[in-house]
Amino acid sequence: MTSGDKLFGRLLGRASAPPLDMPGVPLPGLHVQLDARGHVLGIRGTLRSQLATHAIGERRPPLRELLCADSALDIEGSPADWQHQNLDLDFLGATGQVLHTRGWIEPDGDEWSLRLQDVGDLLAGRQLAQHREQNHQLACQMSEQLRVCSLTRLPEVFNEHLRSLAQRWHIPCVALALLDDEDRGWRIYSQYAAHDAPALWQAGQYLGISLDSVNGNVPLSLARERSDNPRLHSIFGDADGFLVPYRDSQGVAAWLLCGPYNGQQHTNDRDWLNLTAAVAAPLLSRLREQRYHQQLDRMEALQGLLGTGWWELLPATHEIQLAPQLLHSLSLEDGPTLQPLSQWLELIHPADRQALDSRLHDLQALGKPLLTSVRLQRTDAEHHPLWYRVQGQVLGVGDSRRWIGFMLDISDIKNQQLQAAAAHARLDNLIASSPAVIYVQRYVDGALHPAFFSDSLLPLLGWTLAECNHDSLASLIHPEDRDRYFERSRQLLREGSVRSRYRLRDKQGHYHWLLDEAKLLRDDLGLPVEAVGLWLDVTEATLAAEQIKQSEERYRILVEDSPAMICRYRPDLTLTFGNTPLANYLECPPAELPGLNLGHWMSQEQRQAFVQRIGQLSAEFPVSTAEISLELPGREHAWWVWSDRGVFDEQGTLVEVQAVGRDNTEVRRSQNQLTQSAKMATLGEMATGLAHEINQPLNVMRMAIVNVLKRLGNGDAQIDYLTEKLQRIDTQVQRATRVVDHMRVFGRRSEIEQQPFDPSQAVEGTLSLLGEGLRGKGVELRITPADVQVQIKGYVDQLEQVLINLMVNARDALLSKREKHPEFRPWIAVHCEQDSRHVRIWVEDNGGGIDPRLLERIFEPFFTTKPIGVGTGLGLSVSYGIVENMGGRLSVANGEHGAKFCVELPIS
- Give 33-60 pLDDT, tens digit per residue: 888 888 888 888 888 887 877 667 677 8
Higher pLDDT, 720 or 357: 357
User: What is d(CA 904, CA 890) in angstroms, rounded to the nearest whole number?
Assistant: 6
Residue 870 predicted with pLDDT over 60: no
What is the SS3 assignment for 394? strand
The predicted pLDDT at position 502 comes to 93
Reduced DSSP (H G I as helix, E B as strand, rest coil) percent helix, strand, coil of the chain, to 5: 45, 25, 30
Higher pLDDT, 635 or 385: 385
What is the SS3 assignment for 254? strand
pLDDT digits (tens, 9 = 90+) for 6-23: 444 444 444 444 454 555
Question: If pLDDT is split at 50, 70 and 90, which confidence band does 487 have?
Answer: very high
Higher pLDDT, 94 or 473: 473
Q: What is the CATH number of domain 562-660?
A: 3.30.450.20
Lowest mean pLDDT among 139-148, 293-302, 376-385, 646-655: 376-385
Cα first-last separation, the chain: 168
In the chain, CATH 3.30.450.40 sits at 132-294
Average pLDDT over residues 875-880: 76
Residue 146 predicted with pLDDT over 70: yes
Average pLDDT over residues 270-286: 85
DSSP for 572-612, please give it.
Answer: T-BEEEE-HHHHHHHTS-GGG-TT-BGGGGS-HHHHHHHHH
Looking at mean pLDDT, say which of 226-235, 344-353, 790-799 comes out highest.
344-353
The predicted pLDDT at position 12 comes to 45
User: What is d(CA 882, CA 884) in angstroms, rounded to the nearest whole number?
Assistant: 6
Phi and psi, residue 781, nearest 5°: -105, 125
Residue 744 predicted with pLDDT over 60: no
Element (H, E) at 125: helix 120-148
Residue 743 predicted with pLDDT over 60: no
Q: How far is CA 238 from the centre of its chain?
A: 61
Residue 198 predicted with pLDDT over 90: no
pLDDT digits (tens, 9 = 90+) for 78-93: 888 888 888 888 888 8
Question: Residue 39's closest CA among 58, 63, 69, 57?
Answer: 63
Percent of the chain having pLDDT more than 90? 11
pLDDT digits (tens, 9 = 90+) for 595-616: 988 888 888 888 888 888 888 8
The predicted pLDDT at position 28 comes to 82
Higher pLDDT, 466 or 26: 466
Range 649-676 burial, b when 16+ CB lie within 10 A, else e: eeeeebeebbbbbebbbeebeebeeebb
What is the SS3 assignment for 364? helix
Higher pLDDT, 730 or 293: 293
In the chain, CATH 3.30.450.20 sits at 3-118, 308-416, 434-544, 562-660
Percent of the chain having pLDDT more than 70? 82
Residue 503 predicted with pLDDT over 90: yes
Q: What is the CATH number of domain 3-118?
A: 3.30.450.20
The predicted pLDDT at position 672 comes to 64
Residue 446 predicted with pLDDT over 50: yes
Amino acid code (one letter) for 779: V
The predicted pLDDT at position 219 comes to 47
Lowest mean pLDDT among 60-69, 391-400, 815-824: 60-69
The predicted pLDDT at position 316 comes to 83
Average pLDDT over residues 100-123: 86
Mean pLDDT of the chain: 80
Higher pLDDT, 128 or 66: 66
User: What is d(CA 772, CA 84) in angstroms, rounded to the nearest whole number?
Assistant: 194
Q: Answer whether 51's CB lies under 8 Å from 93's CB.
A: yes
Average pLDDT over residues 105-128: 83
Please indicate, yes or no, whether the overall pTM of this predicted structure exceeds 0.75: no
pLDDT digits (tens, 9 = 90+) for 400-432: 888 898 888 888 888 888 888 888 787 777 766
The predicted pLDDT at position 500 comes to 92
Residues 6+ apart with CB under 8 A from 36: 78, 79, 80, 110, 111, 112
Average pLDDT over residues 797-807: 83
The predicted pLDDT at position 601 comes to 84
Q: Answer whether 236's CB lies under 8 Å from 222's CB.
A: yes
Q: What is the CATH number of domain 308-416?
A: 3.30.450.20
Polymer length of the chain: 908
Q: CATH homologous superfamily for 132-294?
A: GAF domain (3.30.450.40)
User: What is d(CA 906, CA 271) in angstroms, rounded to the nearest whole number?
Assistant: 132
The predicted pLDDT at position 630 comes to 78
User: What is d(CA 118, CA 134) in angstroms, rounded to the nearest whole number?
Assistant: 26
Residue 315 predicted with pLDDT over 80: yes
User: What is d(CA 558, CA 450) in angstroms, rounded to the nearest whole number?
Assistant: 49
Q: Answer whether 403's CB lies under 8 Å from 394's CB.
A: yes
Residue 686 predicted with pLDDT over 70: no
Question: If pLDDT is split at 50, 70 and 90, which confidence band does 701 have?
Answer: confident
In the chain, CATH 3.30.565.10 sits at 671-906
Its CATH class, for the domain covering 434-544, is alpha beta
The predicted pLDDT at position 819 comes to 87
The architecture (CATH level 2) of 671-906 comes to 2-Layer Sandwich (3.30)
The predicted pLDDT at position 9 comes to 44
Average pLDDT over residues 261-270: 62
Higher pLDDT, 533 or 143: 533
The predicted pLDDT at position 495 comes to 92
Higher pLDDT, 75 or 339: 339
